[in-house]
Amino acid sequence: MGIKGIRTALKVDLDKPAQEQQGLHNRWHPDIPACGKIANNEVVKIECLDWTGGQIKNNDSADDVKNVDLTQIHYLSGPFDIETAEPGDVLLVEIQDVQPFQEQPWGFTGIFDRHNGGGFLDELYPKAAKAIWDFEGIFCSSRHIPHVRFAGLIHPGILGCAPSAEVLAEWNRREGELIAANTVAERIVAQPPNPQNSHAGSSPEDIKARVAKEGARTIPGRPEHGGNCDIKNLSRGSKVYLPVHVPGAKFSVGDLHFSQGDGEISFCGAIEMAGVITLKFTVIKNGMAKLNMKSPIFHAGPVEPQFGPGRYLTFEGFSVDETGKQHYLDATVAYRQTCLRVIEYLRRYGYSDYQIYLLLSCAPVQGHIAGNCGHSQRVHDIGCSDGYL
Amino acid sequence: MGIKGIRTALKVDLDKPAQEQQGLHNRWHPDIPACGKIANNEVVKIECLDWTGGQIKNNDSADDVKNVDLTQIHYLSGPFDIETAEPGDVLLVEIQDVQPFQEQPWGFTGIFDRHNGGGFLDELYPKAAKAIWDFEGIFCSSRHIPHVRFAGLIHPGILGCAPSAEVLAEWNRREGELIAANTVAERIVAQPPNPQNSHAGSSPEDIKARVAKEGARTIPGRPEHGGNCDIKNLSRGSKVYLPVHVPGAKFSVGDLHFSQGDGEISFCGAIEMAGVITLKFTVIKNGMAKLNMKSPIFHAGPVEPQFGPGRYLTFEGFSVDETGKQHYLDATVAYRQTCLRVIEYLRRYGYSDYQIYLLLSCAPVQGHIAGNCGHSQRVHDIGCSDGYL
Amino acid sequence: MGIKGIRTALKVDLDKPAQEQQGLHNRWHPDIPACGKIANNEVVKIECLDWTGGQIKNNDSADDVKNVDLTQIHYLSGPFDIETAEPGDVLLVEIQDVQPFQEQPWGFTGIFDRHNGGGFLDELYPKAAKAIWDFEGIFCSSRHIPHVRFAGLIHPGILGCAPSAEVLAEWNRREGELIAANTVAERIVAQPPNPQNSHAGSSPEDIKARVAKEGARTIPGRPEHGGNCDIKNLSRGSKVYLPVHVPGAKFSVGDLHFSQGDGEISFCGAIEMAGVITLKFTVIKNGMAKLNMKSPIFHAGPVEPQFGPGRYLTFEGFSVDETGKQHYLDATVAYRQTCLRVIEYLRRYGYSDYQIYLLLSCAPVQGHIAGNCGHSQRVHDIGCSDGYL
Amino acid sequence: MGIKGIRTALKVDLDKPAQEQQGLHNRWHPDIPACGKIANNEVVKIECLDWTGGQIKNNDSADDVKNVDLTQIHYLSGPFDIETAEPGDVLLVEIQDVQPFQEQPWGFTGIFDRHNGGGFLDELYPKAAKAIWDFEGIFCSSRHIPHVRFAGLIHPGILGCAPSAEVLAEWNRREGELIAANTVAERIVAQPPNPQNSHAGSSPEDIKARVAKEGARTIPGRPEHGGNCDIKNLSRGSKVYLPVHVPGAKFSVGDLHFSQGDGEISFCGAIEMAGVITLKFTVIKNGMAKLNMKSPIFHAGPVEPQFGPGRYLTFEGFSVDETGKQHYLDATVAYRQTCLRVIEYLRRYGYSDYQIYLLLSCAPVQGHIAGNCGHSQRVHDIGCSDGYL
């Protein structure tokens, strides 16, 4: 007679080290054992740590961000076996709700140190920084960026199914080639498998060793399964269509964000939080062929904070970098220039460049590709506590 | 006693070659004489040819697109002297209306031949193609892409003030360097000044020669003045803040679009049209310093077609190209992959790849930068005559 | 080969008395001869006077509003014969564009004198008042209500097809009954046919006399054909499905509004203007039965000024009037109370009650029925020239 | 150091009779003792029963609706003493979240029997009916109205502060007058105080007796304090400014709705549910004078399901009732006619009139006052499971 209460498929412990919790893992690998079963068409709650596994504290020092241990990230909840899912199917995941833990109603945005993580503007802003955000319902504010208050668009940063052995091998091949080809000493172009702090969930020792050796890192996102997708609009009511590569799908989720700007430019740039996500799972048999799908497809829900087009200011960047060098159709250069234009503009409100950099990362600003593949970033108006900036 | 009727500051002749019309020009140069004066705070109508100057015809062959003469483009209306404007000022331009000519209610979208213009996906789609769009009020439809009908978001693709001699020299320097450094024989990385078909408005012979030799091409957009900005939301009610580099500002406008998608990926990708734009001009004295502005700032109007977030499908691309090669944080590669995912998806509706490529260029689809500078393109639902695709 | 230029089906003369123009009329009657023919599927432009036929002038005195001759209103353009339309069909009218005359870019909002027209709040605000609005593209502002500037949502206030003789007789019957039953001496509950200033277009003398005697006034709106519908969202891109009662439909249109609030409370409450409307006509054979339609159906276009839900303040009225008397489920009483609450609130910005009453009539405020048929009016934020009120 | 976990200020017991729970009450009276204290600026969770106190069950018979005991309704949670609040202050209530109970994820919409409750269309639809809605995240669907699924806009139907003795006396006076003046035997025009099933919370016997004798019923809403306001947009992120009439404000809340249409026409017309509301309270000293406020003011949050104006169909009603009788400016008559037009239209999708009546009551349809105080109801498109109706 109608829907029953919702089962919690995984609980996490906010006080226990992430490495000791068997329902978490921080590498992608087909052999990590499932931490639970979910029925086709079932709705469940899944608890998640923040992506660093609790390394960042609610205080006023950025030292924890500066010294963050990135070999550990991202801690994901899962993998879950979805009944009836087989390779070639599509797993439809409906995001019914995302909430911070009631007893921990805060999150953080960080700028990594250039020598430990870095970010999109790290040549100009090499130092670590941090803002703690307090949540009040759908709104958030930070004592580190006074007078700013806005409604978040809460969502998961990472969700996906495990790669098959073949898919994993392809990832390691192509990222290895990129690493091998890199000639800029201090640039980390990709993260190879790294045994240090590898967490393989409840794996027995032999699989633990294999995951440590072969397991794909959670950065970057990858087209075969989505993973680290960081789409700011993937909030309540959204649907995600995910390719299935292994029996049972082995679905994982994590990296919950209270809010994020397009581009999440400071890398630790969303408002990162621990919390609970409520998901419904439906298996679409043979879906990859039916939908002619090589990568996930996303369908945002009908609910979002609405401001109207007239409440945005638009800044434009071009393929000319800050040294005056012209590039050819380079959207990344253009995007970086746009970010700098915004920072210059927002200084007038008395914020430091680091504060603005944090804000651009986590407030729901838009970043659009404009014509001819130059780039324009539309910057969202950001409400402050006394009205609007 | 209130506002008077609106003066037409420039009339164009749809039946006369663009090269013979003195109110048009197709190069940026400080010495092109003004074709008229506009008072501070004045509202005027300015007529514009389509960007090719009428080379593309309302018929069913793409031969005119294939053989388009790109040395001629873009024909702009102007330059206009804005009274009281001086270097360092900002020219505030309010877009009050944009309309096609009543007697020519149609436009075109083209895909250039790979060897004459090219486009974002020209390696995969090397041939020329064309769609003619008929306008019905705010809606448009095309006999070349049956069953599709959508509301345009009408706007100018190009507007800006003339460069100073110093700014022009800098453009020629940095683009020259890029051209000199290019090693891919068939790739055109920038357009150097080109005397062929240079049109310097009403210039006397000596200035004509100088413009032909030094005048900057209208591609690409440039941060110092905007120019070719191609922002799809710059429609009725929008404001543009433009840096002034020469006395009188020497403002020009053209390249009117009935509609355009973010990215305008096929290059001739908007719905290109001739028409009339109504603009109000206000000079902000010493505005560049006051606004701490290095590049134009745009403020979209409050009016746009609204569909809500739930009417978009989102596809995601990553920095892995179609050969399986991994790139480092390359938004351009990621964007191209996203476009391919959309094309694959929309095939299900019976359209050819070229039809979809045209549609992605001209319908008001969105293209967003997602987290970590990968890329996700949000694709707008496109209404068709029988409901929705 | 595509759409041709648009024919103007009726021109009006702004300098000639409305009574002398044969394409106008101010009564609904089946026998008024058509002033022109329009083909099925044709797009035409139709020029319209303002609803008073030019009685209100662009000056700073409300005497013209006070002394307005209401026996003349509303002057409508038409009627037009739509080819192939027959009784029982539905006439689909697509509103492609509405524009003020270029040479007359202004409009007016009036409050009628309580003894000549009146309005929703005339017991409290019995005197005539007027605001002249200047148009700047999609925006308007008034020297009579300083610092307010907003985007209009331009639309026609009246459109409909002629009644059949039977429909007309029914109108006269039921409105006559209401008039006969009225016991409040000074209250005008309905307007009976009135020969004074009746304008029957190009009718010969005998029909002129019949129209003068029987013709229905243009107030109120009537369910059988729409007529005076005053729906603020009926702007560019909207579609209206109109019942056809006579051969050829005999379609008329007028009462153009630059903007209007829900309720148009001051009666002459929109921003009234003369201008040009562009319409497409399509006959749906046997449409009334197919759509099971007793009254017109409206489908607004996708374009409107967007502010988002957070930019509205909501005031609520209840069925308790200003004397403290309780009424039973009376939405009209509740609505009046809501209007008074808004007036009280907006006084804080220094406006007089009459200025606010004008503003509530013409700015695109919303008026919603809340639960249990009380009433809540959502009041739109109204941008002023220095930002927002 | 930031926000702490949120305190639950009142727990309810879903299995215990509402009459036995001391934190509930169903009459408005200044003497009902507070059930708890809330600090100024505190955020708390408050649990609520559904408005009937659990009389309606999750089954397929409408007998419980038919026989509902209306002397019991509405059960409200409270009253709460808000520290520092005094008469003349304004209590700012921010709605941070509203959720159904996790173990009871369903709600109901009812049509009352004409002889027990009735509703807006009870002359035409006199019988009781019921739909049970299952919640899936922000969406809901009903086995009683197949194929319909939409996103709710969750909100409280009732919130307000206790009346002072003077305010209460005024309510009883004016509603008593209305009852006395009523001449239609079967019409209930207002609910006088009624000792039957009166619930006065934790009152001692003498106050219980007084509340039973004098306490105002929870129907209708009243301008002095809001109360039964039923505003469908009052969802997460909204703010309500409430007049304070007694020391401590004595705030109560209840009647939670998963969704409601403007007008809530069937009276039990929202999707009624039990659940938890999270509220923040802030006292604005002397706020009634500062804000010149006679009635509550509401400020909706920025978040709502967005469909865009083009996804609504608009139907229009006029002051002519279904017998052909003309009324004078009667928005209630016009609104009823609009509802009938919608019912006629939606029959085409195979739904019964009662199903549509339920749907119009609970789906987020809009009801607007159109010009000249006639009425137009904008009907929202309602997504069904296979796309859109």
User: Taking an 8 Å Cβ-Cβ cutoff, which residues of chain B contact chain C?
Assistant: 1-6, 43, 58-59, 94-97, 102-106, 132, 134-139, 143, 151, 236-237, 278, 280, 301-307
Of C309, C318, C325, the CB nearest to D304: C309
Average pLDDT, chain C: 91
How far is Cα B342 from Cα B317, in angstroms, rounded to an integer? 10
Distances (CA, A) of D378 to A271, C233, C300: 38, 10, 10
Distance from CA of C55 to the nearest CA of A (A): 36
Tell me which DSSP letter residue C148 carries. B
What pLDDT is recorded for position B25?
A: 98
Q: Which of A187, C295, B99, A291 is nearest to D376 (CA)?
A: C295
| Angle value at C-alpha A270, between A267 and A273, nearest 5 degrees | 120
Would you call D236 and A134 a contact, using CB atoms and an 8 Å cutoff? Answer: no
Closest residue by Cα to residue D221 from D28, D10, D23, D17: D28
pLDDT at C178 over 80: yes
Q: What is the pLDDT of residue C308?
A: 75
- DSSP code per residue over A323-338: TS-B-SS-HHHHHHHH
* Record: contact C303-B305, CB cut-off 8 A: yes
Q: Which chain C residues are closer than 8 Å to A309 by Cβ?
A: 306
Residue A17, token pair as written in the block: 């080290």
A251: which 2 tokens? 């679905």
DSSP class of residue A233 equals T
Mean pLDDT, residues D152-179: 96
**What integer is the mean pLDDT of B150-179?**
95
Reduce the DSSP state of residue C265 to 3 states and report it.
coil
Are the Cβ atoms of D306 and B309 closer than 8 angstroms? yes
Rounded (5°) CA angle D281-D286-D292: 105
Tell me the shortest Cα–Cα distance from C149 to chain A, in angstroms.
Answer: 14
> Angle C286-C288-C291 (CA atoms, 0-180°, nearest 5)?
105
pLDDT on residue D374? 58
Give B-chain residues touching A322 at CB under 8 angstroms.
none
Amino acid B96 reads: Q
Sequence-separated contacts (24+) of D84-87 with Cβ below 8 Å: D84/D40, D84/D283, D84/D285, D85/D40, D85/D161, D85/D244, D85/D247, D85/D248, D85/D249, D85/D283, D86/D244, D86/D247, D86/D285, D87/D164, D87/D244, D87/D245, D87/D246, D87/D247
The residue length of chain C stands at 389
How close C208 comes to chain B (CA, Å)?
A: 37
The pLDDT-based confidence of C238 (bands split at 50, 70, 90) is very high
Answer whether C305 sits within 8 Å of A310, measured CB to CB.
yes
Chain C residues at the B interface, defined by Cβ less than 8 Å, are 1-6, 43, 58-59, 94-97, 102-106, 132, 134-139, 143, 151, 236-237, 278, 280, 301-307
Nearest in space to A99 (alpha carbons), one of D105, D98, D235, D274: D98
Is residue D248 within 8 Å of residue D101, measured between CB atoms? no
B371 contacts A264? CB cut-off 8 A: yes
8 Å CB contact of D231 and C309: no
DSSP string, C28-88: B-TTSPPSEEE-TT-EEEEEE--TTSS-S-SSS--HHHHT--TTSPPPEEEEEEETT--TT
String of DSSP letters for A143-170: TTSTTBEEE---EEEEEEEPPPHHHHHH
Chains that touch B (3 or more CB pairs under 8 A): A, C, D
pLDDT of residue B381: 59
The C-alpha atoms of residue A283 and residue A263 are separated, in whole angstroms, by 31
At what angle are helices B331-346 and B353-362 packed, to 10 degrees? 120
Domains D7-299 and D309-388 share a fold: no
Pairwise CB contact (< 8 Å): C368 & D371? no
Residue B359 clears pLDDT 60, i.e. is over it: yes
pTM of the model: 0.92
- Dihedrals phi, psi of D202, to nearest 5 degrees: -95, 25
Contact flag C320-D233 (C-beta cutoff 8 Å): no
Query: Cβ of A310 and C308 within 8 Å?
Result: no
pLDDT of residue D372: 60
CATH number (3.40.50.11440, 2.40.50.100, 3.60.150.10, 2.60.120.580) of A7-299 reads 2.60.120.580
CB pairs under 8 A between A and B: 268
Residue of A150, A311, A388 to mutate, testing the C interface (most C Cβ within 10 Å of its Cβ)? A311
Across the interface, whether the CB atoms of A3 and D135 are under 8 A apart is answered yes
The pLDDT assigned to C385 comes to: 45
Contact A211, A27 (CB under 8 A): yes
**Both tokens of residue A69?**
């241990």
pLDDT digits (tens, 9 = 90+) for C320-355: 898 999 988 888 888 889 999 999 988 988 899 999
Please name every residue paired with C48 in a beta bridge, in sequence order, or none if there are none. C275
Cite the DSSP H helix spans in C120-204: 165-181
Residue D352: is its pLDDT beyond 70?
Answer: yes
Q: Could you tell me what percentage of chain C is helix, strand and coil, using 3-state DSSP and rounding each to the nearest 5?
A: 20, 30, 50
For chain A, which residues score pLDDT lower than 70?
Answer: 1-4, 372-375, 380-389
Examine the pLDDT at C387 and tell me if it is beyond 50: no
What is the Cα–Cα distance from B94 to B298, expressed in whole angstroms? Answer: 10
Q: Is residue B3 over pLDDT 70?
A: no
Contact B221, B298 (CB under 8 A): no
Contacts of D305 in chain B (CB under 8 A): 308, 310
What token pair was written down for B79? 């330059």
Q: What is the pLDDT of residue C44?
A: 96
Task: List the single residue in C with minimal CA-CA distance to D232.
Answer: C370
Query: H or E stretch including D80?
Result: strand D76-82
The model's pLDDT over C90-139, given as tens digits with 9 standing for 90+, comes to 999 999 999 999 889 999 999 999 999 988 899 999 999 999 999 999 99
Question: Which chains share 3+ C-beta pairs under 8 angstroms with A?
Answer: B, C, D
Residues forming a β-bridge with B17: none
* CATH code given to domain A309-388: 3.10.28
Shortest CB distance from C331 goes to which of D228, D331, D347?
A: D331
The alpha carbon of residue B110 and the mean position of all alpha carbons in its chain are separated, in whole angstroms, by: 13
- Confidence at residue C316, expressed as pLDDT on a 0 to 100 scale: 86
d(CA D105, CA B130): 54
Asked if C316 lies within 8 A of D221 by C-beta distance, the reply is: yes
The per-residue DSSP string of D322-367 comes to TTS-B-SS-HHHHHHHHHHHHHHHHGGGT--HHHHHHHHHHS----
Beta carbons of D72 and D26 less than 8 angstroms apart: yes
Size of interface A-C (CB pairs under 8 A): 21
Q: Could you say which of B189, B231, B347 has the minimum Cβ distance to residue A292?
A: B347
- Determine the average pLDDT of the residues in C214-239: 92
Nearest CA in chain C to D371: C263
Better-scored residue on pLDDT, D52 or D368: D52
What are the tens digits of pLDDT across the range B209-240? 999 999 999 998 999 998 998 999 899 999 99
Paired sense of beta strands B36-38 and B76-82, if any = parallel
Q: How confident is the model at residue D4 (pLDDT cuts 50, 70, 90)?
A: low
- Do residue C104 and residue B5 have CB atoms under 8 angstroms apart? yes
Q: Do B310 and D307 touch (CB under 8 A)?
A: yes
Q: Between chains, do C306 and A306 touch, taking CB under 8 Å as contact?
A: yes
The answer to whether D106 contacts A2, with C-beta atoms less than 8 Å apart, is yes
Which chain A residues have any C-beta within 8 angstroms of a chain D C-beta? Answer: 1-6, 43, 58-59, 94-97, 102-106, 132, 134-139, 143, 151, 236-237, 278, 280, 301-307
B252 pLDDT more than 90: yes
Neighbours of D, requiring at least 3 CB pairs below 8 Å, are: A, B, C
* Contact check, Cβ <8 Å, C308/A311: yes
Residue in A219, A331, A374 closest to B220 by CB: A374
Predicted local distance difference test score (pLDDT) of residue A2: 47
Cβ separation C307–A305 shorter than 8 A: no
The pLDDT, as a whole number, for residue C1 is 39
Three-class secondary structure of residue A348 per DSSP: helix
Contact between B223 and A316 under an 8 Å Cβ cutoff? The reply is yes
CA A339 – CA A135 distance, rounded (Å): 26
- CA-nearest residue of chain D to B151? D310
- The pLDDT, as a whole number, for residue D382 is 56
Q: Which residue of D has its CA nearest to B306?
A: D308
Per the CB < 8 A criterion, the answer to whether D338 and C346 are in contact is no
| pLDDT value of position A163 | 98
Q: Do B5 and C105 touch (CB under 8 A)?
A: yes
| CA–CA dist D323, D340 (Å, integer) | 13
Q: What pLDDT is stored for residue D260 in this prediction? A: 92
pLDDT exceeds cutoff 70 at B374 = no
CB contact under 8 A, B2 and C106: yes
* Distance, CA of C37 to CA of C250 (rounded, Å): 9
Interchain CB distance below 8 Å, A175 and B315: no
Per CB-CB distance under 8 Å, the chain B contacts of C385 are none
Q: Å from D304 to nearest chain A CA?
A: 5
What is the pLDDT of chain B when averaged over all its residues?
91
Distance of alpha carbon A4 from alpha carbon A20, whole angstroms? 32
Say if residue C293's pLDDT is above 90.
no
Instruction: Indicate the domain borders of chain B.
Output: 7-299, 309-388
Cβ neighbours of D308 in B, within 8 Å: 305-308, 311
